Each structure stands twice: as C-alpha cells, then as structure tokens.
Amino acid sequence: MIRIRKRTTAPALLTTLGTADRLRLEGIFSANPVACQAPRNQQLAAKPAIYGAAAVKAALAADQHGKCCYCESKFEATGFGDVEHFRPKAGVRQQPKSALEKPGYYWLAYEWSNLLYSCEICNRRHKSNWFPLLNPAHRARQHDDPLWRERPLLPHPCRTDPAAELTFNRHVAVEKNQSAWGAACIWAYGLNRPALNRRREESLEKLELALFVASLDIDAMSEAHRQTTLTMLNMSLAEVRRFITNAQVVRKQAALDSAEYAGMVRANFPHLPRR
C-alpha cells in the first residue's frame, strides 16, 4: 500500500444524484431507525448505478494509476474492479467472523472521500464489511453521529501514509514496529495471500535484474571485454545500449506512485526516486 492522492473534486454524479439519494436514505433511517437496525434488512440499500457509475470508476482508476488501493496490483486487463467503500455502506463487522451489524455507513455511500478503487479479491474475499475500531462503542451508527470519535484500525490510504505502519521483508508484507494498524492491513486485505506474494516476488526479482543491467557501462569496457560480452549475449552494441537504457528507465519509474507494488519497491530500495 502507498498513500493515494485523489482529485479534490468529485464526479458530478455523486454531488447531484448521489446527494439526492443520500437524503432519501437519511429520511428512511429517521422514519424508522429500529427497522434499519434489524439483521439482514435492506431498508438502506444504496444505488450501484450512482456510486459504481462508469465516470466514478474511471476517475478512481485514473487517480490510482489503475492499481488496487490495497494490494497495488494492476488488474484491469483481467478484472473489472470494484468501487470500494472504505467505511462499509451496508453493514459492519468489528471482527472478521462476527455478525454483520446494521446499518452500515449508508450516508457515506456516495461520499467521494469514502470511495476507492479495489480489485475484487481485496474487496470481496478479504476486507468486505470488516471495519474494526479501537473502541467499538464510539462507532457512528447514523448520519447524525460524529465520525471524529472513531479510531479505525485500518488507515485511510488517502489520509495517512501506510508506509508509517507497513513495510516489506523482501516481497512479504510485515507490520512496522509491531504496529496494530500494519497488522490489521495485512489481515484485512490479504496482503500476504500466496498468489499475491508470488507475483510480488517475481516483480522484485525482475527489478533486481533491471537494476543490475542499468548499472552496466558497456562503453567503459575494454574492447576485448566488450566483444566477449556481445558474443556471449548474441547482441549488437546498439542492442545492448538500448537494453541498458530501458533498464535505466525501469530504475527511474519503479518507485513512482504509478508503479505496481511501489510500496514494496520503496521498502527494499529507499534510494530510488519517487517523483
């Protein structure tokens, strides 16, 4: 995970149709709070056509460089992606296996600051409705309750830098300094699931190879050494120079916000440029 820098202006659909539907949901709760708190009730169902509209998803994807807000995988070639609600809209769980508590944060269903772009695995299989608080008694239960009293155990990736709580040992995610936030992130988003770990490991190994190639200076070699190298690689001098140049580009881009697994790269190679 890395800190996400979102545009400040929300897509128009959220501030028009979204605002109108938020008022509708708040009215439903105010009219019958007891019914809205009943298990499995659907009184406060938000409209996916609004929060999940193509324009909303496109804005989120662009701000996050096509990466999942949690695992940092670029998945758009193989998945549709979800509009993720940081504070769950339909219901919440304090513990992963605890009963679903109703209602969720229905009044934030169309709130731009509460929306993120996530891969289906992080959103549906792992985080889902889990939103733990340090003190569950301070949870906001309706639209008039103050959110400032809450102390979530999951850092909001747009408001805090996850690197303060989460780091990597090679490709494996680990909490920093026994951080409860970092441990919660790893658990909540499945950041060490086997398939993701394998993909990060492959990415790290490719980067290490690129960094080695980027450090080579073919023109500084002796003529005999250069010819031996070209023969061994079965490449021309121009091809080798282009190969080194490409590796240098990889080195410059590997830790940027737009790079896949930038958090892992930054933890392993803190000297690489981030801008």
Q: What would the pLDDT profile of 4-25 be if each residue is shown by its tens digit?
A: 999 999 999 999 999 999 999 9
Q: Which residue has the tokens 């981030």?
A: 274
Tell me what the pLDDT averaged over the chain comes to.
95
pLDDT, one tens digit per residue, over 152-184 is 999 899 998 999 899 999 999 999 988 888 999
Specify if 231 maps to a domain: yes
| Domain shared by 137 and 25, yes or no | yes
| Domain shared by 51 and 134, yes or no | yes
Whole-number Å distance between alpha carbons of 115 and 164: 22
pLDDT class for 49, splitting at 50, 70, 90? very high
- Pair 186, 173: CB distance under 8 Å: yes
Specify if 166 maps to a domain: no
- Please give the model's pTM, rounded to 2 decimal places: 0.92
The pLDDT of 14-40, averaged and rounded, is 97
Whole-number Å distance between alpha carbons of 108 and 16: 14
Question: What residues contact 101, with CB distance under 8 A and at least 6 apart?
Answer: 91, 92, 93, 94
The pLDDT of 112-130, averaged and rounded, is 94
Range of the domain at 229: 194-268
Buried b (16+ CB within 10 A) or exposed e, 164-173: ebbbbeebeb
- Pair 152, 135: CB distance under 8 Å: no
Please state the domain count of the chain: 2
Bridge pairing between strands 82-85 and 115-118: antiparallel
